Amino acid sequence: MRLHEVSGATETIEAAPAKINLALHVTGQRADGYHLLETLVTFTEAGDVICIRDAAADSFSISGPFGDLLSDGGDNLVTRARDTLRDALTLTGQPARPVGIHLEKNLPVASGIGGGSADAAATLRGLLRHWGAIIAPENLASLALELGADVPMCLASRPLIARGIGEDIEVLTDLPELAMVLANPLKAVSTPEIFRRLQNKVNSHLPAHSTTGWMDFLAQSRNDLQPPAQSLLPEIGEMTGLLSAEGATLVRMSGSGATCFGIFHSFDAALNAETSLRKKRPGWYFQATRTI
């Protein structure tokens, strides 16, 4: 994340790291239908990138390996984040001049690793820097939640445990860096359908992380959405098998899928696994990365 000059105009660049649900427990359901979760989340060096420049009028454009799967017109989370933040700042008398926003879409779309939410959160962070604006943390958190349940987590972009519908965040300071490979068959799964197929809406809570090492914690936890997601998309089971065969010490689906991750003992091992997996499934997405 940095500021630099491009063609005489200041450009603000903000990373939108992939969000990885290392564990996800569904612990209940509210009367309004929202599911209650407890999830251990971390973020990776792999991710999208938001670029912001001053402009005569607002504009939005997209590039990157998965950019052609998104529309650069109409309603999307990036432009909604821009407009919502501008409205909030205008109420406090802070200027929010027109900007051109460019999204470099490096992550698969609708893949359970926070892509759209991460992009919206990066837009909020980047615009606050670009505009030199100030907003109360509680107001920013409320604004982020208005955009989506995952946006507050992505706004933090630090290891955390989230509870409720994702708004109750506990930042972690002792989660170690993890080397991993992300895998996706480039097929989407329906999050609403996954929740409909979830047989038990009230499951056990996350184990107490203060009394155990993190790998033991992960071994004792799970992703409650993985079985219904795998029933919709059998490739999820194939991915976890492939990652295990490459030597991953722990393999799991992230979020509502279909991205899976395998944790490796070193980044070099993750790179070797990525190379091998790309040869085995050349039409799929594989990315070696580290958590941040």
Does the annotation count 19 as an active-site position? yes
Q: Which of 72, 150, 216, 280 is catalytic?
A: 150
Q: Which of 19, 48, 105, 119 is catalytic?
A: 19
Does the annotation count 150 as an active-site position? yes
What lies within 8 Å, CB to CB, of 99 at 6+ separation is: 52, 53, 54, 55, 58, 59, 82, 127, 130
The residues carrying an active-site annotation are: 19, 150
